[in-house]
A and B are shown apart, each in its own frame.
Chain A
Amino acid sequence: MINSNLLTVRDLKKYFDTRAGFLKKPAPVHAVDGVNLNVGQKDVLGLVGESGCGKSTLGRSILRLIEPTSGEIIFDGEDMMKVDNRRLRALRRKMQIIFQDPFSSLNPRKRVIDTVGEPFIIYGMAKGKALKERVVSILEKVGLSSDSLYRYPHEFSGGQRQRIGIARALAVEPVFIVADEPLSALDVSIQAQIINLLQELQTSLGISFLFISHDLKVVRHFSERVTVMYLGIIVETGKTEDIFTNPQHPYTEALLTAIPMPDPSTKRKKIILAGDVPNPAQIPPGCRFHPRCPKRIEPCDKIRPKTTDLGGGHSVECHLRG
């Protein structure tokens, strides 16, 4: 596992300065606050957590679409934080992102051939007839026919636009894709089509994914491993089945029981967390989850737990397992 790592992220931080009111001290928002993770070759790491916990910021910081505050991002043996701009551009060719909203992530004035073909032109890989052929073959991969070539985004449905977004990402033949909630703007029946597409591409092209989603059912279906984020940090990581059948962090446990299951015959006991999704500008001391934790014990509100390695790639940050 270790030597087949494609991406290793160490102690990555991204703080945003907020402009507080007059006379108020600006309070930096610790959106990503010391994250460690790794993604192997042909691996799919699911990243789950609630709104504002830092999922998207983490995904974008890894690609340096947002400039991280500090940390290491080792991609294919090179530290993304240390390379110069030319090298960064070259590395970026191997990494792509797919966004949540297929409506706003495509340029409305660009035809499909321009959007999907853009990277070929930027990197000088193809033009003219060759370009058209390459674009058509990518469109085929994502299930769009060649008569889409000269049409504009508004002529497509949500699911089709997401296919265009995926085609754009595939154009440069990336080895790693950050998919940031790629399904959440889509209807159930279309979601299933896109999940199938991503899965096909993943297996046939061997692309690694960081798959960001708040939908745990989708994550379970698509990911090899899962990592759970809470208030800027990772609280639990493990193989998908271990996380879903044997969660060790009380937050993971609560998240899992909170999903409404489409099966009226299973009566599960729900763990209903008190309190709101927390604010990353006000991080509680000790364990960040302690104000909402139904199992909190003596040191939780004072001392931050260490990460415990439970073996088999399963790790957790919680005093109960410390």
Chain B
Amino acid sequence: METLLSVQDLKTYFYTGDGPIKAIDGLSFDLIKGTVFGLVGESGCGKSVTALSIMRILPPAGKTVSGKIIFKGDDLLNKTEAEMRGIRGGEISMIFQEPIASLNPIFTIGYQIEEAILSHLKVSKRESKKRVVELLKAVGMPSPEIRVKDYPHQLSGGMCQRVMIAMAMACEPSLIIADEPTTALDVTIQAQILDLLRKIREESGTSMIMITHDLGIIAEMADSVAVMYTGRIVESTDTRTIFRDPRHPYTIGLLDSLPKGKGEKLVAIPGMVPKPSELPEGCKFSTRCRYVIEECQSSEPPLKEIDTGHWVRCIRSGEIKRL
């Protein structure tokens, strides 16, 4: 088991007006080579900022203030911008939620994929043109020889996402970060795209970070998973365990919130996620937690390994079980 990516105590803050917004505040996880690591959590918990921090493409107000991002033995935070340009799209590619918005509207899709190839690989124009068609074929684009001349707006959302995936695969990266790649798509198209990502992973062994708010996608796609809340990981383990034996009250709450069939009342998590500027002292989940005791509010619990590879940020994890 080789670690491909190790994120260590990452902190990314936004500086807008009064005081920093601590979007990511002490995030750590390891991605084992060849596996899919799922990041799940509700809106605003910092999933996208994590991805942008790894790629080092944060918006101007955002800054990674500390931590390490060890990729293949080197800290990405120590790389120069020129080195990062080689890594982005070469070693690590990213797929975004809004496929149509992520493509450039004024260039054909063939041109855009070709650019991705030529900026990273030393191949002739002829070869790259051939490779574009191969890539489009591999991602299931019908009649790729003709479609290369299409502009993004001529394609459906699902087809644009295939183009994005073709671009992401262009240089055979070792890591793909997919940030909600199917959230904007219909359920039958989502099934197609997830199937495609599964095939890519089987055939090329590419490692992936799969960002989603959908626990169903985690169950289907991820080998291991981290549940995020207010910029931190609250629980992380292999996918089976998170569903079978979740130990953090937030994870349990998320699972209980899912409708299961016709019937009784759902056990909803009360209240809502606190604003970044209004985080409580101590455990950040304490304002909504049904197991909260006085001790929870004094200092923030550390992420503790309660079983091999099962990490939980809760002082009561030993006593708590999902019924």
Contact = CB atoms under 8 A, between A and B. Distances in A.
Given A262-B216, A263-B243, A276-B159, A192 B186 contact: no
B264 to A, nearest CB: 9
B219 A263 contact: yes
Contacts of B121: none
Interface residues of B, number: 46
Contacts of B126: none
Interface string B234-246: 0000011001100
B195 A272 contact: yes
Interface in B160-206: 186-192, 194-195
B35 to A, nearest CB: 14
Given A187-B43, A196-B268, A270 B191 contact: yes
Contact of B191 (A189, A265, A272): A272
Interface in A240-270: 240-241, 244, 254-255, 257-265, 270
Interface stretch (A25-33, A71-79, A91-99, A213-221): A213-221
B216 A258 contact: no
Interface stretch (B26-34, B64-72, B98-106, B254-262): B254-262
A186 to B, nearest CB: 9
Interface in B38-60: 42-43
Given A189-B42, A263-B219, A276 B239 contact: no
A88 interface: no
B272 A260 contact: no
Q: Which of B187, B217, B243, B255 has the most CB of A within 10 A?
A: B187
Contact of A192 (B158, B190, B240, B268): B268
Contacts of A192: 256-259, 266-269
B220 A195 contact: no
B3 interface: no
Interface residues of A, number: 43
A51 interface: yes
A105 interface: no
A191 B43 CA distance: 12
B263 interface: yes
A189 B262 contact: no
Contact of B42 (A50, A188, A223, A265): A188
Given A189-B254, A192-B266, A196-B268, A265 B195 contact: no
Given A260-B214, A270-B191, A220 B268 contact: no
Contacts of A255: 187-188
B255 A262 contact: yes
Q: A-B pairs with the 9 shortest C-beta distances?
A: A260-B216, A221-B259, A192-B257, A192-B268, A258-B191, A189-B269, A187-B42, A262-B215, A50-B186
20 contacts: A157-B272, A160-B272, A187-B43, A187-B213, A187-B273, A188-B254, A189-B269, A192-B266, A193-B269, A195-B259, A195-B268, A220-B261, A255-B188, A258-B190, A260-B194, A262-B219, A262-B258, A265-B240, A272-B192, A273-B192
